[in-house]
Structure 1
Amino acid sequence: MRKIDVCLSPDLIELYNLSGKVVVVVDILRATSCMTTGIAHGVNSIKPVATLAECQELQFKGYTAAAERNGKKVDGFDLGNSPFDYMDEELRGKDIAVTTTNGTLAITKSMDAEQVIIGSFLNFSAIINYLKRIKHDVVVHCAGWKGKVNMEDSLYAGAVVDALNGQMDYACDAPKIVHSLYLQAKGNMLDFMQNSSHAKRLTKLSIQRDFEYCLKFDEFKNIPVLKGDHLMKMGISDMLI
């Protein structure tokens, strides 16, 4: 039987053998929710980079540039890290370079995998249906917060484990832990999350609507997939791994 594993922080990913595996990178608040939203609204590609300097260099080359640090948009860049920024009709067909505090780091650290896909609650069922079809082992890579474990990404990982329950073996205890957490929260995740550190952080920044939006299930059916070093909408050829 295939195996599912969960990495709770990018600081731990070096302990995982990603070769031949499909990695689902998740940064619910808010990077992967933004990426899912952008691709769903017609963005051509998203290039994740680790540093502000890399993002600025791509901005000079004609990319629309999105940059966030500590939850705030960085001055001098076109976009921040709100999913509502990615709904702008003017972004349709555009290429975006993006750097965030946590999510883009998790993506760049996952590139040894057979395939990297972007997960969020917004495209949850699309992700699950895809994972059920493939023959590869799966690692859910949680972006966390500055190397630390966070609630929202752990809940997402638990939801994935729950949806695949009985179809995949646990690779270690991490899937069991996040599954237990999700079972506690699934009745009302919004309330469960209210006291999490990142929810409080977003509330202080007066972006509660981002928090509520990012916890919505199945707004979209698309899956962003890493092709080279750009995220693009998954096509039929990407499913033939």
Structure 2
Amino acid sequence: MRLKVDLLPKSSYPDVVIVVDVLRATTTAPILLGVTDQLFVTPSLRSARAYAQEHGLLLAGEREGMPPEGFNYGASPAALRTLKLDRDVVLTTENGPRALEQVEGAKSVLLGSFYNARAVLEEAARRATEEIALVCAGQNGNETLEDTVCAGFLARRLEKMLPEVELRDSARLAMALLRAFPDPQEALVQSTAGKLLARLDLHEDLAVSSLISQTEVVPVLKDTLGGEGGKIYRFERA
């Protein structure tokens, strides 16, 4: 069994992928799926609005950290984890959904973060036969501190779960960076995305996003649907 970390998404994954977008898509997604049956994820505002209107769904998401016009909710995990919802949700953010465009061909696509760390690793280990790839979403095509540190954290945990796993150098690189940030929240605070959230006075999102193994919910990709402005990815609980 191989374990690798991609600091940015690539285009070919044969087995199990865990997409990591800590701030905030893959932290928010398991929170939403904890109170809904399905979660629809898209990079496109147009697709999100059209699909939600057609199917009577709620809209959650962000652009530059803030809820787009007309949305029911933002993408704040701190705010969303207190909600009780009566409808499924369409989620759109800027980076995590775009990573799905690169990894959708994998055998299994899971969404992972600090928040569901134990559960997502157990699910990945159960599904994988040859490789687990931790794929960082990045930000606008650039590597990010918070995703890389989280991938290193997950890689270290997985190495302990599966002592026989073959670590690729990319996994060792992420694990080495993790040693510089023994407190995950510090990596989030120092990251570019973290500084944006701090300027928007969303400090609680940084705290919630650094919490470890708070839920057993693992979003798993079930279907890819066509949308007016871009693909829509349907997730259910594993």
CA contact 1:126–1:222 (8 Å) conserved in 2? yes
- Are residues 47 and 192 of structure 1, via their aligned partners in 2, closer, same or farther at CA, if it must alter by over 3 Å? closer
Matched, 1:143 2:142: no
**Percent of pairs with identical residues:** 26
Correspondence list, 1:155-174, <5 A: 155-165=149-159, 166-171=163-168, 173-174=169-170
Q: CA deviation at 1:44?
A: 1.4
- The answer for the alignment partner of 1:178 in structure 2 is 174
User: Does the 8 Å contact 1:50/1:99 carry over to 2?
Assistant: yes
**SS in structure 2 at match of 1:213:** helix
Q: Provide the rounded CA distance (Å) in 2 between the counterparts of 1:44 and 1:54.
A: 20
Tell me the residue number matched to 1:213.
208
Q: Does structure 1 retain, via aligned residues, the 8 Å contact 2:116–2:214?
A: yes
- Aligned-pair Cα RMSD in Å: 1.6
SS at 1:24's partner residue? strand
Q: Deviations over 1:99-120 (max 9, x none)?
A: 1110111123211000101101
Q: Distance in 1 between matches of 2:145 and 2:187?
A: 9
Is this contact kept in 2: 1:194–1:200, CA < 8 A? yes
TM-score by length of 2: 0.88
Is 1:24 aligned to residue 21 of structure 2?
A: no
Amino acid at match of 1:232: E
Asked whether the 8 Å contact 2:146–2:187 carries over to 1, the reply is no
1:85 CA displacement: 4.0
Are the aligned partners of 1:49 and 1:108 in contact in 2 as well (CA < 8 Å)?
Answer: no
Contact 2:48 / 2:91 at 8 angstroms: preserved in 1?
yes
Pair 1:102 & 2:114 matched: no
1:189 aligns to 2:184 (yes or no): yes
TM-score (norm 1): 0.87
CA distance in 1, matches of 2:28, 2:19: 13
Give the whole-Å Cα distance in 1 for the aligned partners of 2:78 and 2:93.
16
Report the residue type matching 2:190 in the other structure. N
Question: Which of residues 62, 65, 68 in structure 1 aligns to 2:59?
Answer: 65
- Give 1:204's aligned residue: 199
Q: Contact (CA 8 Å) 1:55, 1:67: kept in 2 or not?
A: no
Please name the residue that 2:223 is paired with: 228
Does the CA-based 8 Å contact 1:46-1:232 persist in structure 2? yes
Question: Cα–Cα, structure 1 residues 89 and 71, in superposed 2: closer, same or farther, change >3 Å?
Answer: closer
1:50 and 2:43 are equivalent in the alignment: yes
Aligned residues: 224
SS at match of 1:190: helix
1:87 aligned to 72, 76, 81, which one? 81
Residue 9 of structure 1 deviates from its aligned partner by 1.6
Residue matched to 1:237: none
Q: Distance in 2 between matches of 1:198 and 1:233?
A: 27
How far did residue 86 of structure 1 move?
A: 2.8
